[in-house]
């Protein structure tokens, strides 16, 4: 009987011990759960911090890249602006030289026209002088002819002199008429030169 009771006590004790162990295990399990939850929270929080740090890092990197790109863009714009300005300066310089050259050619053309017109005037004066020589030669020849006609056939010496004067006058008239033709041709050429200079476009 005692053994039985003792056995029951032993069983009860064992059962009590088993109950205590299960309770402790449950408590430990709950503690483990809390620790696990806490650790999980911490892990999540750490992961979130890592993610935020990564985002900040990437954002900073992107910002640096953008800044570098901005610097490159500004540098490219500056260099492009300098190139354009240099090209525009070359155009302005070329335009200036072209304008100066055109003005010089225009002045030269006006000088040539003025010279040609002056030459026409001179040639016309030469024509007038040549015409006067022709008229004088004709008058001289007429005088010589009149003198010759007024001499008698037996006035041999006088007639010879008159004929000589007439011959000289004829020669002078022929030379004067030839020169007159030449001077008129010179006037024509001079007038053509004026027309040419006036109608020819100034070289660009």
Does residue 16 fall inside a structural domain? no
Report the chain's mean pLDDT, rounded to a whole number. 83
Does residue 10 fall inside a structural domain? no
Does residue 70 fall inside a structural domain? yes
Does residue 101 fall inside a structural domain? yes
The secondary structure of residue 154, as a DSSP letter, is T
pLDDT tens sequence across 138-197: 998 899 899 888 888 888 898 898 889 889 989 999 999 999 999 999 999 999 988 988
Does residue 123 fall inside a structural domain? yes
Question: Whole-model pTM?
Answer: 0.52
pLDDT tens sequence across 98-151: 899 989 998 998 999 999 899 999 999 999 999 999 999 999 889 989 988 888
Instruction: For residues 137 and 170, give the distance between their C-alpha atoms in angstroms, rounded to a whole number.
Output: 7
Does residue 19 fall inside a structural domain? no
Does residue 185 fall inside a structural domain? yes
Q: What's the pLDDT band for 203 if we cut at 50, 70, 90?
A: low
Extract the tokens encoding 43: 């892990």
Q: Which domain covers residue 195, as residue numbers?
A: 37-199
**Domain at 128, CATH number:** 1.10.287
How many domains are contained in the chain?
A: 1
Does residue 8 fall inside a structural domain? no
């Amino acid at each position: 009987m005692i053994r039985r009771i003792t056995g029951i006590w032993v069983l009860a004790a064992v059962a009590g011990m088993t109950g205590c162990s299960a309770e402790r295990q449950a408590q430990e399990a709950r503690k483990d759960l809390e620790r696990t939850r806490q650790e999980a929270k911490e892990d999540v929080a750490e992961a979130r911090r890592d993610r935020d740090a990564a985002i900040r890092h990437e954002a900073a990197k992107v910002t640096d890249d953008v800044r570098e790109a901005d610097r490159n863009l500004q540098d490219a714009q500056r260099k492009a602006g300098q190139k354009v300005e240099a090209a525009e300066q070359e155009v302005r310089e070329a335009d200036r030289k072209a304008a100066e050259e055109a003005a010089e050619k225009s002045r030269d053309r006006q000088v040539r026209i003025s010279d040609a017109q002056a030459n026409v005037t001179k040639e016309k004066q030469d024509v007038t002088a040549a015409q006067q020589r022709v008229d004088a030669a004709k008058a001289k020849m007429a005088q010589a002819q009149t003198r010759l006609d007024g001499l008698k056939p037996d006035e041999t010496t006088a007639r010879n002199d008159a004929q000589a004067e007439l011959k000289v006058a004829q020669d002078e008239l022929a030379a004067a008429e030839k020169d007159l033709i030449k001077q008129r041709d010179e006037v024509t050429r001079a007038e053509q030169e004026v027309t040419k200079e006036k109608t020819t476009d100034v070289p660009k």
